[in-house]
Structure 1
Amino acid sequence: MEKEICTISIATTWLGDTYTFYDDNKIKRVYDNNSLSSDVSEWLEAEQISKQNKDKLIKNCPEEFKERVMQILDYP
């Protein structure tokens, strides 16, 4: 089973949006569509994440995981 690296939140004031990174390069996103539809989850590939969200993820990433998360995201 894959091992979790870290979970990073890029939530807005009203809606949750977290990304969990795993050591097999998988990314799980859990987010709220709206106040009535919360905790929707999906598995993503790095290329499915916008440049803007990648920037937010790296900015909010704990320093000790930053290098590994950048590799998974194929971040410059």
Structure 2
Amino acid sequence: MEKEICKISVAGNWLGDEYTFYENHTIKRVYDNHSLNSNKTEWLEPQQISNQSKDKIIKNCPEEFKERIMQILDYP
């Protein structure tokens, strides 16, 4: 398994939504659809993430990882 860079939570309410970024530029998202359908996992490419979600990820990103995560997301 690739080395993890960081995990970033973008949950806005009581449903979980967390992105994990890895050294090889893979992105894992673990999220809850609703209380009975939780901890769903999907592997994403940067172009599959909406601009609105990218905004939330960068906003919640720890400062020491921000530049690296912006590069992975191809964030302006």
TM-score normalised according to structure 1 size: 0.97
Structure 1: runs of 5 or more not aligned: none
Cα offsets for 1:45-76 (capped at 9, x unmatched): 00000000000000000000001100110001
Residue in structure 2 matched with residue 9 of structure 1 by the alignment: 9
Q: Which amino acid aligns with 1:75?
A: Y
2:72 and 2:20 mapped to 1: Cα distance? 11
Residue in structure 2 matched with residue 50 of structure 1 by the alignment: 50
Give 1:12 shift.
2.1
Q: Which amino acid aligns with 2:39?
A: D
Question: Aligned pair count?
Answer: 76
- Identity level (%): 74
TM-score normalised according to structure 2 size: 0.97
1:49 and 1:38 mapped to 2: Cα distance? 20
2:32 and 2:39 mapped to 1: Cα distance? 5
